[in-house]
Structure 1
């Protein structure tokens, strides 16, 4: 199942939205690679990108929060740290077991599900805060 960056995922902040699009593309690439039984090296490349880009995006987003004095920064950062651990665990399982059907389901539920939910619930609040501070 591929994910689409729809209007309800837009925060209105160009940097955040651009990075969210790239994260969703990376999740879609990972799902497609798993579904077609691609080799572990291709999956390793995709998961490494997802891991690195998630860290970059979270760092960018957290800088915006600090600059705008976002009041829920501490909790938002904690959500990011918890998610980085989830991505690292998925990468570990993929490296150990390869692209199993169970892992594809886990990518769908944990990575994609978390990302979509986080954007809709948390990142929209951050973007509104930043917009109102401008």
Structure 2
């Protein structure tokens, strides 16, 4: 079942919310590829999702560090544990295991819980340190380029 973005997933930090929405898109794309049984599309979505999520983690961690968030290190540890778990799925996939359904379920549960619990904890620190320009909503860009890939489609 696809993840529908709901307001309770918003952190109130526009750039982070946009990145989280993009990760939700990847998770939903994985489900769609799985329904079609398209193994090449499944692999591509998984690789793209992993790449994007790692970039998101680095961006989120840098925002926390700049804000002086006191629990940066534990939050980074959560990201590292998640990354290891996903790497295990990726290895299994490369060995020929059909991991799409299992990975989809794990990603969906983990992301929602992570946003509502772990990410919610740093929001006040980060928002307090943001300049008004950085706190403004980010416009979606249709043009390609690294900024549009990082912050949306």
- Length-normalised TM-score, structure 2: 0.78
More helix by share: 1
Unaligned 5+ segments in structure 1 are none
| Cα RMSD after superposing both structures | 1.5
Which one is further off, 15-24 or 29-38?
Answer: 29-38
Tell me, in whole angstroms, the C-alpha distance in 1 between the residues paired with 2:104 and 2:83: 16
- Partner secondary structure for residue 97 of structure 1: coil
Q: Which residue of 1 aligns with 2:10?
A: 10
The answer on 1:52 being equivalent to 2:51 is: yes
Matched length: 130
Q: Given that residues 11 and 17 in structure 1 are in contact (C-alpha distance below 8 angstroms), is that contact kept between their aligned partners in structure 2?
A: yes
Alpha-carbon offset, residue 93 of structure 1:
2.2
Unaligned 5+ segments in structure 2 are 131-153
Q: Which residue of 2 aligns with 1:132?
A: 128
- Length-normalised TM-score, structure 1: 0.89
Q: Which residue of 2 aligns with 1:109?
A: 105
Tell me, in whole angstroms, the C-alpha distance in 1 between the residues paired with 2:105 and 2:48: 19
Per-residue CA deviations over 1:65-123 (Å, capped at 9, x if unaligned) read: 000010111110000011111221222222323546xx40x224321111110000011
Tell me, in whole angstroms, the C-alpha distance in 2 between the residues paired with 1:27 and 1:78: 22
